[in-house]
A and B are shown apart, each in its own frame.
Chain A
Amino acid sequence: MLLLFRNYLWLAPAVLQIGVVGVMARHKLHRRFPLFFVYNLECAFAAAAMFVMWYLWQVPGKVWGYSYLVAMALDTAVRFGVVYEIYAHVFDNYAALKRFGKPIFRGALLVLLAIGLVAAGQSHQQHADFAMYALHVLEQTASVLQVGLLLVLFLLSAYIGLSLRNYVFGIALGLGIYASVKLAVAALQSSSLVSSGNVYRNLVILGSFHFAVLVWLFYLLVPEPVLSRAIGIPDHNLELWNKELERLSRQ
């Protein structure tokens, strides 16, 4: 039963990601978010390929492990590109904020990289296999960076009062949820509280990714709120608005 559930969590997100790709292509969003588009294609392809390698070809464990490492490294690199794409989209959308986008991204990246490296240095996990150790360090450091970058973006937008477009918010929310869960799991793993082969660990990570893909699909499909009716102006401001109207009519 558990195996069936794991297989579902392994393949279902890949199928849903094909849906994400389809919706993006239909709304021409692949032009605005090319890396997110590529990320979905890459994840869907990688999940299908790994599944075939595991069940049909039954490749040796070492070959599978290295393939997983390559897929993970590629996935992490593209995900960074997606986070940068979100930053660029949010800041380039406002003339007053345009010049702040890159410095904020770089500044946050440097600070978070320092935190991530310190955290990686504290890892107590014992690995006979260097590749697996490298994978763990990469996962944890990347998660620290991605969670931090997305948190900075969300908090900054909320503080300034920027309302992100549905699809931007959805992409960032899905990535944030997935990266947070990965971070918590990687941290537990670094203290040897959870092993990399633990079936529940894998279920939690696969489940969070499934949820993230559902979030992306939901926000890509939900309509954008557009101002379609009159602005209600409170009575206590009427005098001010009227004065302003008089001033405008004199101009």
Chain B
Amino acid sequence: MITTVILVLAALATLFVLLRLARSRALAVRWLQEPGTHLRSVDLEAFRNLIDPSEEQFLRAHLPPAEFRSIQRQRVRAAVEYVSAVAHNAKVLLRLGQAARLSSDPSLAASGESLVETALQLRFTAFRSLALLYLRIILPGGHVSLSGVAERYELITGQVVMLGLRQPARSSPL
């Protein structure tokens, strides 16, 4: 009887998830109309500063161990916020790229294709970095290299600019 209940609940939960996804898909079309409004602001310089090993060494050398650990936790939490924003932006740009690569204009489609690939890589890098950062909150002593996030984010920024330049009708003041 327990198996029956579990299977029936699993089937109903799946139906619910499928119908929710169908609804969110309809809403996702709106993203394409104004994708920029869904992007979160990311200050790359501040992020680089947070993950800079020399900054960390400086703080470690000049602060008492307890204070250093406390400040380091706050820095890692701030880095988590930045990386989460990058992962979110990568998702928005992934959708943008997916729509662009269906364009009949070959150059726009090619820009969309490379945007999709970079956005996917950026999302994977961001997921990995988030896992490392959460590990760092638990174990503040270790060192984590997050340089890939900033570099890929820079790369994707360039690709979005190129995609914007290839738009046939532009309203953005770029």
**A248 touching B15, Cβ below 8 Å:** no
Tell me which of B17, B21, B29, B37 contacts A225 (CB under 8 A): B29
**B157 touching A240, Cβ below 8 Å:** yes
Chain B neighbourhood of A234, CB < 8 A: 36-37, 39, 41
**B161 touching A244, Cβ below 8 Å:** yes
Interface membership of A160, Cβ < 8 A: yes
The secondary-structure label for the interface of chain B is helix
For B17, B18, B94, the residue with the greatest tally of chain A CB atoms inside 10 Å of its CB is B18
Rounded to whole angstroms, the CA-CA distance of A199 and B35 in the bound complex is 50
Rounded to whole angstroms, the CA-CA distance of A236 and B36 in the bound complex is 10
Tell me which of A188, A190, A231 contacts B172 (CB under 8 A): A231
Residue of B nearest to A140 (CB): B7
Rounded to whole angstroms, the CA-CA distance of A231 and B37 in the bound complex is 10
Chain A neighbourhood of B174, CB < 8 A: 233, 238, 241-242, 245
**B117 touching A230, Cβ below 8 Å:** no
Interface stretch (choices B62-70, B74-82, B98-106, B132-140): B98-106
Interface stretch (choices A46-54, A65-73, A177-185): A177-185
CB distance from A227 to the nearest CB of B (A): 4
**A119 touching B172, Cβ below 8 Å:** no
**Beyond A150-B14, A183-B10, A234-B37: 12 further Cβ-contacts under 8 Å?**
A94-B116, A94-B117, A143-B11, A144-B7, A147-B10, A155-B17, A169-B22, A180-B18, A184-B8, A184-B11, A241-B157, A241-B161
Residue of B nearest to A96 (CB): B120
**A247 touching B158, Cβ below 8 Å:** yes
Measured CB to CB, the residues of A under 8 A from B are: 94-97, 118-119, 122, 140, 143-144, 147, 150-151, 154-155, 158, 160-163, 169, 173, 176-177, 180-181, 183-184, 186-188, 190-191, 193, 224-234, 236-238, 240-242, 244-245, 247-248
CB distance from A249 to the nearest CB of B (A): 10
Chain B neighbourhood of A231, CB < 8 A: 35-36, 96, 160, 163-164, 167, 172
Interface membership of B54, Cβ < 8 A: no
**A173 touching B22, Cβ below 8 Å:** yes
Measured CB to CB, the residues of B under 8 A from A are: 1, 3-4, 7-8, 10-12, 14-15, 17-18, 21-22, 24-25, 28-29, 32-37, 39, 41-42, 44, 90-91, 94-96, 98-100, 102-103, 108, 112, 116-117, 119-121, 123-124, 154, 157-158, 160-164, 167, 169-174
Chain B neighbourhood of A143, CB < 8 A: 11
**A227 touching B18, Cβ below 8 Å:** no
**A180 touching B21, Cβ below 8 Å:** no
Given contacts A154-B21, A184-B12, contact A227 B161 (CB under 8 A): no
Chain A neighbourhood of B160, CB < 8 A: 231, 233, 241
Rounded to whole angstroms, the CA-CA distance of A242 and B12 in the bound complex is 49
Tell me which of A150, A169, A248 contacts B25 (CB under 8 A): A169
**A244 touching B158, Cβ below 8 Å:** yes
CB distance from A136 to the nearest CB of B (A): 13
Residue of A nearest to B91 (CB): A161
Given contacts A169-B25, A188-B4, A247-B158, contact A181 B120 (CB under 8 A): no
Chain B neighbourhood of A147, CB < 8 A: 10-11, 14
**B36 touching A122, Cβ below 8 Å:** no
Rounded to whole angstroms, the CA-CA distance of A177 and B123 in the bound complex is 30
**A230 touching B17, Cβ below 8 Å:** no
**A177 touching B18, Cβ below 8 Å:** yes
Given contacts A96-B121, A119-B3, A173-B18, contact A230 B170 (CB under 8 A): yes
Tell me which of B4, B11, B112 contacts A227 (CB under 8 A): B112
